[in-house]
Amino acid sequence: MKFLTTHRNKTTGKVNAQFRTKAFKFGDVLESERVRVISRYMLIAGKLSSGKTRYLTKLYENAEGIWRDQLRPFAHTNNGVVIADRVARGDDRPSYKMKRSEIGWTFPTPVFILANATQSEWIDLVHVAAWWDALDANAEMPYKKLKAHEKRAAIVEYLRVTRAVLFIDDIDKVSAKKIQFFKELLGAASRVVMTASTLNQIPQGLRMIITQNEESFQHVELTTDASFDATHFIMLFMIAISVMSGQWALAAFGSAIYGFANKGVKTKF
């Protein structure tokens, strides 16, 4: 089973996020998979109770520490070696003709959308409204006066201009009426983290955008933890009962099986 862990560097503020695979919740780590900050699209897939929404929220809360350095603009350079290195690393940040310290950039507030929610639940985003109203060109048309389709366009423009990270929960539940809008969101955002039951359940029009480039797509598959937790505690309960009833041989046998599985047998629950 996979668990998302985050570790923040107290000095730099950077967050190292990775998914760790364990046979049991408190067992040894079998393998680790880091969140690839250079990937434009990341899908966390899993069935009900697999924890995908909880992990999506955790990444959202730590977005600045995880993606800040990747999204910060570059100072302009004509150095071919530096430019080639950026391209080789898949670094698509924009560059400005000024020193890095003069850019005055701040990490943009991410956008979090529940795909199966009604439009009214996520269209009035406070930070998007603040960004829109701060633009001189919009002085006579504040965000609160925009029509619904204009607010949708403003969200897309916010993602394109600020390069904010986009989080989409349950993208596989996007209705047919919303597909065009979500295509625009996926095309405008520089980084997208989303959840779905499976990749194949995502509407084809959206799935093609997400998977068109394997190098820019990270797919993390989760397994449910419902039966996992039950098995864990039932085993411990049976061992405890065996000890209290004096059945030492049975308790030792149960402990041996539990300990063996806890050290890395890849059991799928």
Domain residue extents for the chain:
227-262
The pLDDT score that the predictor gives to residue 124 is 86
Q: Give the highest mean pLDDT range of 10-19, 177-186, 212-221.
A: 177-186
Q: Over 50: is that where the pLDDT of 228 sits?
A: no
Per-residue pLDDT of 122-137, as tens digits, reads 888 999 999 999 998 8
Per-residue pLDDT of 47-76, as tens digits, reads 877 788 988 999 999 999 999 888 877 665
Give the whole-angstrom CA distance, residue 176 versus residue 68. 34
The torsion region of residue 13 among left (phi > 0), alpha (psi -120 to 50) and beta comes to left
Give the whole-angstrom CA distance, residue 138 versus residue 203. 35
The pLDDT score that the predictor gives to residue 269 is 24
More confident residue, 167 or 17: 167
The pLDDT score that the predictor gives to residue 267 is 29
Residues 107, 111, 112: CA angle, nearest 5 degrees: 135
Q: What is the DSSP string of 111-163?
A: EEEETTS-HHHHS--HHHHHHHHHSGGGTTS-GGGS-HHHHHHHHHHHHHHH-
Q: Give the highest mean pLDDT range of 18-22, 47-51, 154-158, 239-243.
A: 154-158
Contact 85, 76 (CB under 8 A): no
**DSSP bridge pairs for 43:** 194, 219
Q: What is the DSSP string of 66-79?
A: HHHHHHSPEEP---
Q: What is the DSSP string of 3-31?
A: EEEEEE-TTT--EEEEEEEESSTTS-EEE
Q: How far is CA 85 from CA 75, 114, 223, in A?
A: 15, 37, 37
Q: What mean pLDDT is reported for the chain?
A: 78
